[in-house]
Structure formats: C-alpha cells, structure tokens
Chain A
Amino acid sequence: EIVLTQSPGTLSLSPGERATLSCRASQSVSSSYLAWYQQKPGQAPRLLIYGTSSRATGIPDRFSGSGSGTDFTLTISRLEPEDFAVYYCQQYGSSLLTFGGGTKVEIK
C-alpha cells in the first residue's frame, strides 16, 4: 500500500499570499493517478486537481498541481478568503485508493 505524507501539517498565511503544499509518496505514483481535494468544515471534500495537474470543473486557475514520481505539489497562487481549508492528496495504485493526512491552510 502506498502511503502519502503531506507537509506541512498546518500552513499559516495571509490572503493574497502564495501557498505551496507538499505530498510525498512511499512509492512511485503514476502522474495520471494523483489528485487533490479541498475540504471546509462540515462539508464534503471537493475535487480540485486530478491527473497531477488537471483542474476539475469550475476550479479557478489560481490552483495548480505539479510533480512526478514520489513528490507532488499543490500551489495556490494568491490565497482568497474562501481558500482557507484543509487539503488532501490522494492516489490510486494497485486497485487501491489512499489519502494523505491533510494540510490545514489557516489565516495568519
């Protein structure tokens, strides 16, 4: 089973700043099978990025994904007030899905 480790656990930033979130896999992950989600309190997760870098329907272009192999990154170019939330990476491999532990982006 591939384990995903997200860092940092918490990111304290101000609106307008750039956020860089990391997701590291215990084994190589196909670029086609790495996704990112946003979750706000009391809500279901929302798919942001799939296939490492493709934005899901309706996702603003300030969200971007990159990476390959075992290291992947979600970047939010300029934080809007509605972007403060928890973010999860997720991979699919060997017919299994696993999620990272999450990064909380909080207002500084």
Chain B
Amino acid sequence: QVQLQESGPGLVKPSETLSLTCTVSGGSISSSSYYWGWIRQPPGKGLEWIGSIYYSGSTLYNPSLKSRVTISVDTSKNQFSLKVMSVTAADTAVYYCARLRGAVAPEYWGQGTLVTVSS
C-alpha cells in the first residue's frame, strides 16, 4: 500500500519561504492514474487544498494561494515538493501531502507536519 511522508522545517520566519517534501513509498509517483497534492489545516480549523501535480509536472493551484505557491515533482526520487513564499502567521498549519484518485479526491494521506510561522 502506498505511504506518504512529509518532511521539512517545523519553524519558518515571517516573510521567508516554507519548503516541504513528500516522499512516496509503496508505489510509483510516475503512475498515470494519480495526481499528488498538498492540503493544509490551521490549528483548530478546516481543510484547505493548496494544489496538485501530475508526474509530468502539470499543476493545479488554489487561486487564493497561486501567487505564492510552487509545487514540483522529482520522479527519480519518488518525491514531490511544496514551496510557499512570503509566509505570514496565517500560513501556520498542519501540512498534509496526499495521493489523489485521479485529480479528484485525496485518497491516501501522509501523517501531516506542523509548520509554525514565527520570528
């Protein structure tokens, strides 16, 4: 069964760039059937989709974050990554990576990683 694991700094300073990587095991990120995505959840709040990527590099982004977000894929490492620029306290959240059914619904999720934006 596919497993996903987020990694990256747990603390980022305001105005800097948040960078996370998702490592996929138990399956190939190059499968033609799936998109791979990032979703976040501020403490005590609901879920927000950030964006998704296909193994070819084709991306979909949440319009509210698109100007600050880049998602990329490294098929040789079976990983995909997230960068969020110019972060503020509002970007503090648990960040999840996930494999989607097609482009439609996150089906397998990582355990999530808390990223705090603070000086």
- Residues of A whose CB lies within 8 Å of any CB of B are 1, 32-33, 35, 37, 44-47, 50, 56, 88, 90, 92, 95-102
B112 touches A44 (CB 8 A): yes
B85 contacts A by Cβ under 8 Å:
no
- Name 20 A/B residue pairs within 8 A (Cβ), A-sorted: A32-B104, A33-B104, A37-B47, A44-B110, A44-B111, A45-B109, A47-B101, A47-B105, A47-B106, A50-B104, A50-B105, A50-B107, A90-B105, A90-B106, A92-B103, A96-B62, A97-B37, A97-B49, A97-B106, A98-B49
Closest approach, in angstroms, between the C-beta of B36 and any C-beta of chain A?
A: 13
Residues of B within 8 A of A44 (CB): 96, 109-112
A39's nearest neighbour on chain B, judged by CB, is B47
Closest approach, in angstroms, between the C-beta of B40 and any C-beta of chain A?
A: 11
Closest approach, in angstroms, between the C-beta of A59 and any C-beta of chain B?
A: 12
List B residues 52-94 near A (Cβ within 8 Å). Answer: 52, 60, 62-63
Closest approach, in angstroms, between the C-beta of A88 and any C-beta of chain B?
A: 6
A50 touches B49 (CB 8 A): no
B103's partner among A1, A95, A102 (CB-CB below 8 A) is A95
- Residues of B whose CB lies within 8 Å of any CB of A are 37, 46-49, 52, 60, 62-63, 96, 101, 103-107, 109-112
Residues of B within 8 A of A45 (CB): 47, 96, 106, 109
B63 touches A102 (CB 8 A): no
Given the contacts A97-B49, A101-B46, A35 and B63 also touching, CB distance less than 8 Å: no
A1 touches B63 (CB 8 A): yes
A32's nearest neighbour on chain B, judged by CB, is B104
A47's partner among B49, B52, B62, B107 (CB-CB below 8 A) is B107
Residues of B within 8 A of A33 (CB): 104-105
8 closest A-B pairs by beta carbon, nearest first, are: A44-B109, A35-B105, A97-B49, A92-B104, A99-B47, A50-B105, A47-B107, A95-B60
A96 touches B105 (CB 8 A): no
